[in-house]
Amino acid sequence: MLLLAAAFLVAFVLLLYMVSPLISPKPLALPGAHVVVSGLLLLRPDLRPATDARPLTALPQALAPRKRRPRGGSPAALLPGTVPSGRASGLGDPPPLHLAPPEAGGRCDWGQRQPAGSWSARGSVTGGSSGIGKCVAIECYKQGAFITLVARNEDKLLQAKKEIEKYAINDKQVVLCISVDVSQDYNQVENVIKQAQEKLGPVDMLVNCAGMSVPGKFEELEVSTFEKLMSINYLGSVYPSRAVITTMKERRVGRIVFVSSQAGQLGLFGFTAYSPSKFAIRGLAEALQMEVKPYNVYVTVAYPPDTDTPGFAEENKMKPLETRLISETTSVCKPEQVAKQIVKDAIQGNFNSSIGSDGYMLSALTCGMAPVTSITEGLQQVVTMGLFRTIALFYLGSFDSIVRRCMMRSAKSEPEDKTA
């Protein structure tokens, strides 16, 4: 009887693996893709957002985009040197995508391999001047994508552009840079996305990397910090996504990536301002995925752990002792490792993108009513939920113990300070 049950279980699992690809989205072909990496670089809470981007003056007239003033602010600037010399003619009108037209069964054939030199998709990365965003742009560029970087810091944008261009696999690839604060003015964001699409064609993949963290105890954080983090971490992803979604639905082609955090799955000491802004991204992603899935547009939410980026280095300078000790229970990842996983999951159309065993466990524990992209994924969540919850209780107990020890240490140090 046991052998029969085991054989039935094996057959059932094999059947799931066979059926699973039938409900999974077809992979997005990156060669020729326009990937937009969007966001802004804010490392310190005292930095104020820029209201005006530098005007475009250094490009020859033939290469300059048409001047258009956004309805709500000053024109954002394409940075000097972003369009290679001699490529003005035809750059704004790339060859058409080699995809099945929408009327052919209502779906585009994402899985077809494109011939050399053809265009298959285009993407954009916000927050692409450093850290995870820059590494995502490099990973996509290595696979033949055309890149648009959107961030606030112009100097870092140009540095990132030069670094990314080293990984070109053909002489037709382009890295376009646009300086704008994606969290302040939707009309301005919409305007610069249109500029990017005029140069490189419709966006096929948008990667939202806008992010900022200000750790601290709840009562010690300024009220304005909560507003600022919600604006940057949440609206900084809403605005670029809103600017590209209509075109994606019309073309029935698209990937939208939201870079959240493990602090967007689990609320931790010291992150009372940061965690809610990252939790909000998941709610947006789940609702948006339900809306756009019938149009062959897929949403991915990435939950990276602590990652060795400039922003993380600045965050560590402000962390309370409790937050720092809890963070030290896990290792710090390299941004290149995180970027590879994000790009892989986005191409496959996976809703969740996690890193390492801890990330996998957190994603399974917090899956709730989140979409699944395969029967296998759903089955794994069902089977592992009990075990992972048991492990999580030990983690939570350890975190509570750290907080209590720090509180006791603080209570002991107060009398000593008063007598000194």
> How many Cβ atoms sit within 10 Å of the Cβ of residue 389?
12
DSSP per residue, 82-150 = -S-TT--TTTTSPPPB-S--TTTTT---TTPPPPTT-B---EEEEBTTSHHHHHHHHHHHHTT-EEEEE
Question: Known catalytic residue: 354?
Answer: no
- In the chain, what percentage of residues exceed pLDDT 70? 73
- Spatial separation of the C-alpha atoms in residues 333 and 140, rounded to whole Å: 19
Selecting among 141, 186, 274, 298, the annotated active-site residue is 274
State residue 152's pLDDT score: 83
pTM score, two decimals? Answer: 0.75
pLDDT in tens, 143-162: 999 999 998 888 888 899 99
Decide the pairing of beta strands 175-179 and 146-151. parallel
pLDDT in tens, 296-332: 999 999 999 998 887 788 888 889 999 999 998 888 9
Is the per-residue pLDDT at 39 higher than 90? no
Burial 322-350 (b: 16+ CB within 10 A, else e): bbbbbbeeeeebebeebbbbbbebbbbbb
Torsion of CA 164, 167, 169, 173, to 10 degrees: 10
Selecting among 38, 231, 260, 327, the annotated active-site residue is 260
Q: How far is CA 155 from the centre of its chain?
A: 22
C-alpha separations of 4 from 7, 12, 16, 114, 173 in Å: 5, 12, 18, 47, 57
Decide the pairing of beta strands 254-259 and 146-151. unpaired
Is the per-residue pLDDT at 9 higher than 90? no
pLDDT in tens, 108-139: 332 333 333 333 444 444 444 568 999 999 99
- Spatial separation of the C-alpha atoms in residues 152 and 126, rounded to whole Å: 10
State residue 21's pLDDT score: 53
**Closest of 234, 227, 363, 350 to residue 305, by C-alpha:** 363
- Whether 267 and 362 have beta carbons less than 8 Å apart is answered as no
- Spatial separation of the C-alpha atoms in residues 166 and 366, rounded to whole Å: 39
Decide the pairing of beta strands 146-151 and 77-78. unpaired
| Mean of per-residue pLDDT scores for the chain | 78
Q: Which backbone phi and psi does 174 adopt, to 5 degrees?
A: -135, 140
- Whether 126 and 208 have beta carbons less than 8 Å apart is answered as yes
Burial 99-111 (b: 16+ CB within 10 A, else e): beeeeeeebbebe
Q: How confident is the model at residue 418 (pLDDT cuts 50, 70, 90)?
A: low
Amino acid identity at 32: G
pLDDT in tens, 334-358: 999 999 999 999 999 999 999 999 9
- Spatial separation of the C-alpha atoms in residues 158 and 129, rounded to whole Å: 8
293 by DSSP, 3-state: which? helix
Question: Known catalytic residue: 217?
Answer: no
Enclosing H/E stretch for 35: strand 34-38
Question: Known catalytic residue: 295?
Answer: no
- Whether 156 and 131 have beta carbons less than 8 Å apart is answered as no
Pull the structure tokens for residue 245.
Answer: 């979604």
Region 377-395: what's the mean pLDDT? 91
Q: Domain 25-116+123-394 is of which CATH architecture?
A: 3-Layer(aba) Sandwich (3.40)
State residue 130's pLDDT score: 62
pLDDT in tens, 222-281: 999 999 999 999 999 999 999 999 999 999 999 999 999 999 999 999 999 999 999 999
Selecting among 134, 199, 228, 278, the annotated active-site residue is 278
Q: How far is CA 201 from the centre of its chain?
A: 21
pLDDT in tens, 66-96: 333 333 333 344 444 443 333 333 333 333 3
- Spatial separation of the C-alpha atoms in residues 296 and 289, rounded to whole Å: 10
Domain ranges across the chain:
25-116+123-394
